[in-house]
């Protein structure tokens, strides 16, 4: 049986989407800041504290969520999954568009 290579690719891409079920929206931001305590090591502007933030645009506004340091890499990976998801979805859509245009082209003749 001779399978359409685009259908095989599309099937593989669709099956890979399940691996992205833990994705998170938004952007992962890492910055450094002063904590505000006058006797802290960061008070002089040196040795600042790391801060991790998840920034999400939702309902017309941007919301930020502090991320505990021990969860920073996990959240970073989950935000990256969303980017991969979007790229895979775009590839699937392009395959579907090419197939659609071929079908329409056959009918027009």
pLDDT at residue 106 is higher than 80: no
Find the DSSP H helices in 1-109: 5-16, 72-108
Q: Both ends of the chain: CA-CA distance in Å?
A: 28
pLDDT greater than 70 at residue 108: no
Residues, the chain: 109
Contact indicator for 57, 42 with CB cutoff of 8 Å: no
Can you tell me which residue has the tokens 């933030």? 53
What's the rounded mean pLDDT across residues 7-18?
Answer: 91
Average pLDDT over the chain, rounded to whole?
91
What sign does the dihedral 48-49-50-56 (CA atoms) show? Answer: negative
- At 97, the pLDDT band (50, 70, 90 cuts) reads very high
Q: Across residues 26-39, what is the average pLDDT?
A: 91
pLDDT, average across residues 91-103? 94
Helix-strand-coil split of the chain, %, nearest 5 = 50, 20, 25
Q: Is the pLDDT of residue 109 over 70?
A: no
pTM: 0.75
pLDDT at 99 over 60: yes
Q: What pLDDT does residue 1 have? A: 59
* 35 vs 33: CA distance, rounded Å: 6
Residue extents of the structural domains in the chain: 5-108
Burial class (CB in 10 A: 0-12, 13-18, 19+), 32: exposed
């Amino acid at each position: 049986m001779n399978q359409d290579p685009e259908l095989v690719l599309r099937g593989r891409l669709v099956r890979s989407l399940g691996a992205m079920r833990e994705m998170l929206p938004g952007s992962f931001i890492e910055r450094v800041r002063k904590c505000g305590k006058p006797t802290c090591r960061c008070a002089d502007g040196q040795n600042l504290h790391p801060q991790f933030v998840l920034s999400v645009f939702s309902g017309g506004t941007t919301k930020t969520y502090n991320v505990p340091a021990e969860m920073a890499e996990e959240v970073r990976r989950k935000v990256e999954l969303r980017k991969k998801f979007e790229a895979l979805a775009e590839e699937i859509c392009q395959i579907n568009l090419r197939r659609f245009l071929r079908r329409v082209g056959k009918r027009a003749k």
